[in-house]
Chain A
Amino acid sequence: MSRWRYLAKRFLMAIPVLWLGTSMTWAIIFLGPINPATYVLGQTNPQNQAAVKAARERFGLGEPPLEHYTEFMINMVTLDLGQTWLLYPGTPVMSLIFDYAPRTVWLGFWSVLIAVFVGVPLGFYAGLNSNSVSDYATSLTGIVWRAMPNFWLAIMLLALLVKSETITQALFGIPISWDTFLVDINAITGNPQLSYMQGNPLALVTQPRETLAAIKKILPAAVVLGSASMGNEMRIGRTAVLETRSEQYIDTAKAKGVSGRVLVWKHILRNALIPLVPIVTSEAFLLIGGSVLVETVFGINGMGKLFFDAAIQGDLWLVATLMFIFIILIVGINIVQDLLYTLIDPRVGYERE
């Protein structure tokens, strides 16, 4: 029962965070120096005071701050996200988000998944075989992988993929083109085709060809985006296993006669997962911000790119609403993290009187 109360409490505590975050967003964006009116007027006549004033009125920027703030907050809370001003004038923000978000979610999902399913097992393996040659090799690879900056890795990976035929010819004697490998994709970069799932999420399973193509399209970007996380998770996983291995309850279990495999799977790994949960979830945050770079290099029109464009062009309303969406996402991921905690570690949620 205490678990549910704990989770309910988490939900309640998310409300002030949401309010505070949104208010700060409003303050930073609308009280800041950027004047979107000048962007609208652009090259025509920014010095024309009357035109600037008219544009400001149109955006509701002329209102007294408190009124504007209240209006903004009410709009956000009721999910009335309004329209964009500059980027795609007149388009409702909601429909923009529905357009762009799936690509980012698809990218984020695979980059988290690849990082978790490669990084964590490798880290656990290194931790269980600490100070062996394989541990050193894994750790070194992890550190190098961790240290490579995203933008550089992205460009290198693209260069390799473009030359895939020449490289595989030299290495294996058979030319394999990344474009036609397994499934055809029209270009190495660009948006993954996700529209086949529209209104029918089951298509993910029922149309494996499209799914495979979509995965293949996103894979290079996902690997790059997840590279740092993968290295991180490997390092933390290794440390967590090493730490858990030296815990006294492991000795107790050994003395009890628990055999190797049960010892590792039951007693070591579950405890080693506890420090990994916040690492994995905090990387999910990074993906939101970090995806701007990767989406730009790989030509994916995702939320990161949308946010970047909106910010550069002074589309304040769009920036603010996207910020609000990001805040909701982050708070949501935090709650998922707390839920994971309560599942893995029974001590969480327990309160001493």
Chain B
Amino acid sequence: MGTRETPQANAAGSDDPLLAVENLTTVFNTDKETIHAVDGVSFDVREGETVGVVGESGSGKSVTARSILGLVERPGVIESGSIRFRGDELTGDNWDRYRGDISIVFQDPINSMNPVYTVGNQIREALRIHQGLRGQDAREEAIRLLEEVGIPDARRRVGEYPHQFSGGMRQRAVIAMALACDPDLLVCDEPTTALDVTIQAQILELLDELQREEDLAILFITHDMGVIEDTADRVNVMYAGEVVERAPVDQLFDSPAHPYTRGLLASIPGQTAESDRLPTIGGEVPTPTAEPTDCRFADRCPEAFDACEQVHPDHVRIGSDHTAACLLHEDRYDRQLSASGAGDDTPAGDAAVDGGGQR
């Protein structure tokens, strides 16, 4: 655990990142076992940038988001690690001080708003708490926010109930509600997954616009590599509760270092035109129930070798801001001590390297 490289090791150091997550471990205690839904995750988000978190279902993305907002409920508990916002620690129940500074947009717009209150009522509630607006001022501001997120006829729709909105409109309204808190960081937990593709594109465009106008930082969580490519500046790839690779978005797409990332990229439809079947990663994400002693991806990894079953890989520097937790790179690192992070792809044939080293 202790030897893990933290992401800001090479940061400038002068200014704190907006959000710094360090070794975050969130576990769910059930009668039978303890599930490490998030296990030692570290990343940071700087002002005004978009950081992506990508991974399959069950990789711990959403629990990470909920942990950041302090929404983890029993039997879940943040076991260790730190979440700092503007340098202040949030864990240990200090979220209330920054409520609203971090807003969240959930995946499912149908359940994100309380069905028995009007959209306007729920936006005004946030405006009252965070901007002290009441009465007519709050109403006008709510209308302005709905217009800002592109809801036509906002003056009328502010008095309607969530069920009277279509899916895409509802997600826009949820974003308006998040904006009403006047946030610095917007956590988007799969905000477009429940929407169809054209609406998805509109929502992504809206988020992009808002980010430029309001200088928002966005933590964008999704399972969709295509969406990540469009939105994120930097990407964290999660697998079974851990970040297995982190890199700036173009580096990640040009030269993925972790076999899991490569698998994800290969399974984007339209990437591999020559074969008629879409490549997939066989198997399922395991449920991490204990401290890791091996590489959790080893079972599904096409390039796994003996050592993968016995050594838990730490993050290895690949490029200037690019790390991956994979023994493939550990070996190369050991062998070519002086070579500074050649980030090129490892051909599949090299997977047979015998990893006797890390025993």
Contacts and interface: CB of A to CB of B under 8 A. Distances in A.
A252 B100 contact: no
Interface string A251-270: 11111111000000011001
Contact of A347 (B73, B106, B163): B163
A80 interface: no
Nearest to A268: B114
A248 B177 CA distance: 14
Given A248-B111, A249-B112, A350-B163, A255 B125 contact: no
A220 B181 CA distance: 53
A271 B96 contact: no
B324 interface: no
Contact of B108 (A248, A344, A350): A248
Contacts of A256: 99-100, 103, 125-126, 129, 177, 180-181
Contacts, number: 73
Nearest to B104: A255
Given A257-B96, A350-B164, A252 B104 contact: yes
Nearest to B114: A249
A257 B128 CA distance: 10
A252 B181 CA distance: 11
A247 interface: yes
Question: Size band of the A side of the interface?
Answer: 20 to 34
Contact of A346 (B69, B102, B106, B161): B161
A255 B116 contact: no
Contacts of A131: 74
A71 interface: no
A257 B100 contact: yes
Contacts of B111: 247-249
Nearest to B109: A248
A184 interface: no
Contacts of A253: 114, 122, 125
B40 to A, nearest CB: 24
A138 to B, nearest CB: 19
B71 A344 contact: no
Contacts of B103: 255-256
Nearest to A248: B111
B169 interface: no
Given A252-B104, A255-B103, A257-B181, A346 B129 contact: no
B116 A345 contact: yes
Contact of A251 (B71, B115, B161): B71
Contacts of B112: 248-249, 252
Given A257-B99, A257-B126, A252 B113 contact: yes
Question: Size band of the B side of the interface?
Answer: 20 to 34
A251 B103 CA distance: 11
B130 interface: yes
A248 B130 CA distance: 21
B195 to A, nearest CB: 16
Query: Which of the listed residues B71, B96, B130 has the most CB atoms from chain A within 10 Å of its own CB?
Result: B71
Interface string A227-257: 0000000000000000000111101111111
Given A251-B106, A347-B161, A350-B164, A258 B115 contact: no
Interface in B60-79: 66, 69, 71, 73-74
Interface string B89-126: 00000001001101110101001111111000010011
Nearest to B181: A256
B207 interface: no
Nearest to B121: A266
B99 A271 contact: no
A266 to B, nearest CB: 8
Nearest to A344: B116
A256 B69 CA distance: 10
B206 to A, nearest CB: 18
B174 interface: yes
B99 to A, nearest CB: 3
Nearest to A267: B114
A161 B299 CA distance: 72
A256 B116 CA distance: 17
Contacts of A254: 69, 71
Contacts of A246: 73
A346 B115 contact: yes
B114 A255 contact: no
A257 B98 CA distance: 9
A271 B71 contact: no
B115 A345 contact: yes
Interface in A267-301: 267, 270-271, 274
Contacts of B180: 256
Given A347-B115, A347-B163, 14 more contacts: A248-B111, A249-B113, A251-B66, A252-B114, A253-B122, A255-B71, A255-B99, A256-B126, A256-B129, A256-B177, A257-B100, A344-B116, A346-B115, A346-B163
Ranked nearest first, the 8 interchain pairs of A and B with the lowest CB-CB distance are A257-B99, A248-B111, A249-B114, A346-B161, A255-B104, A256-B126, A257-B129, A347-B163
27 contacts: A247-B111, A249-B113, A249-B115, A251-B104, A251-B106, A252-B104, A252-B106, A253-B122, A254-B71, A255-B71, A255-B99, A255-B104, A256-B99, A256-B125, A256-B181, A257-B96, A257-B99, A257-B100, A257-B126, A257-B130, A257-B181, A258-B129, A266-B117, A267-B114, A271-B115, A344-B116, A350-B164
